[in-house]
Amino acid sequence: MDDHTGDPHADLPGRTAHPDAAPRPADADLLRLLLDGLPAGAVLTDPDVTAAYAGDMASFCPAGRPAAVVLPRTVEQVQHVMRTATALRVPVVPQGARTGLSGAANATDGCIVLSLVKMDRILEISAVDRIAVVEPGVVNAALSRAVAAQGLYYPPDPSSWEQCTIGGNIGTASGGLCCVKYGVTAEYVLGLDVVLADGRLLRTGRRTAKGVAGYDLTRLFVGSEGTLGIVVGAVLALRPAPPRQLVLAAEFPSAAAACAAVCEVMERGHTPSLLELMDRTTVRAVNRVGRMGLPESTEALLLAAFDTPDPAADLAAVGELCVKAGATQMVPAADEAESELLLQARRLALTALETLRPATMIDDVCVPRSRLAEMLDGTAAIGRTYDLTIGVCAHAGDGNTHPVVCFDPADADEARRARESFDEIMALGLRLGGTITGEHGVGVLKKEWLARELGPVGIEVQRSVKQAFDPLGLLNPGKVF
């Protein structure tokens, strides 16, 4: 992640950093003060190198030119960066692996990009206390494998889990496929070490199973997208490893029928470890990319999984509910290998949709489960209105939809329609009683929509919180609000 020599996403709208502007060297005072407390290799100033750190994976999000990129390895080095930034009034943009989808990691002109990927140690795993203590640059998959080796389980599993970092997961309060049963990142963060804007180190939360001393500052930082402080350490809750799950795939003649099955599954009290949905566009794209052999006649494919002591019995019960809701075909996995094959189709969904057009915009609208069918049908109608391909994959068990708008950024009219359709999808979600983001965050992309969702009083209170932690406005400016 540290060896990029250019921006691989420079062709996407809003991704480039003022292409007509000449690269400017880092301010001499800034560079001198940074190097006073950092090794030379930790500070990057070559414009061709720093350009690679300009932004994350989001389309339509402007990014500036950083004055320098810093790659600290210790808490003390992060503190030094923040003291330097405060002294010189230089903005700081924290970054993880830059797999985000809202522009929250995008640089601003003249900022310090603080990339935390070198702080990648797992400091402790305790089977007795069921916790892991980690640095922010630990990759999600690396943590999951390390705790699994000790018979433990870290449930949050974003689709980018092989690349994304725990610090980034905390910054965006990310979720994953298993949210329906196990919940999201916020429910597993017990405590944090946070470097504040002025360089002080704040410790929040606890290592204990219970604790209610003082305001819950830990939850406040989770999902704050680097606007309140720099997370440099985390105490994470773990669970005992569950039994291996079995998966059922059910084919439906309509999205409405699949969503009716979802409602029935949840209303009857079932607790699947996974309940995912893919629409017809997504299924066909997955078949093309992965040669999965999924039924292309389907209008919606529902995947349900159980990691209970008797998953086959649970799948049979859910299968009956799917048939009653109108499922035309069902494929229950006989073993772990078949289950993994079915899950691979869901994991390929976003990658497959990205092959349909040169660029994509991935929305992240979460609605009440009872309105899920309206969300999917409404999104399909928006695709027809704007003459665009929009595929939908969803964490159906918690109502979190990911409409993926596929478009060509070189076609100005198509790019315009893509942006307008994206906004229409978010407006639809709000009308259905939902939220503009279930797990990707606000960043740059959804600032206007956050104001619409929260209203003036909500925005005023949140800005007051930001002011209390960051009175100079140096931490990730221009994001969220």
Dmax over Cα atoms in the chain, in whole Å? 70
pLDDT in tens, 161-172: 899 999 999 999
pLDDT tens, position by position, 50-108: 999 999 999 889 999 999 999 999 999 999 999 999 999 999 999 999 999 999 999 99
Residue 406 tokens read as: 């596929």
> What is the average pLDDT across 403-430?
97
| Contact residues for 58 (Cβ-Cβ < 8 A; gap 6+) | 14, 15, 100, 101, 102, 103, 106, 443, 444, 445
For 469, the token pair is: 């932690």
Q: Which is it for the CA torsion 202, 223, 68, 135, positive or negative?
A: positive
Residue pLDDT, tens place only, 278-332: 999 999 999 999 888 888 889 999 999 999 999 999 999 999 999 999 999 999 9
CA proximity to 358, closest of 413, 405, 409, 402: 409
Tell me the two tokens of residue 389. 């391909």
* Sign of the Cα pseudo-torsion (99, 104, 109, 115, in order): negative
At 188-234, the pLDDT tens digits run 999 999 999 999 999 999 999 999 999 999 999 999 999 999 999 99
pLDDT at residue 293, rounded to an integer: 83
Torsion from C-alpha of 17, 23, 28, 32, nearest 10 degrees: 60
Q: What angle do CA 379, 270, 305 make, to 5 degrees?
A: 70
What is the average pLDDT value for the chain, to the nearest integer?
93
Confidence at residue 26, expressed as pLDDT on a 0 to 100 scale: 57
What are the structural domains, with CATH classification, of the chain?
A: 28-115 (3.30.43.10), 122-240 (3.30.465.10), 244-348 (3.30.70.3450), 356-471 (3.30.70.2740)
Average pLDDT of span 165-188: 94
- What angle separates helix 336-347 from helix 280-290, to the nearest 10 degrees? 110
Separation between Cα atoms, residue 299 and residue 400, nearest integer Å? 19
pLDDT of residue 292: 83
Q: Amino acid letter at 291?
A: R
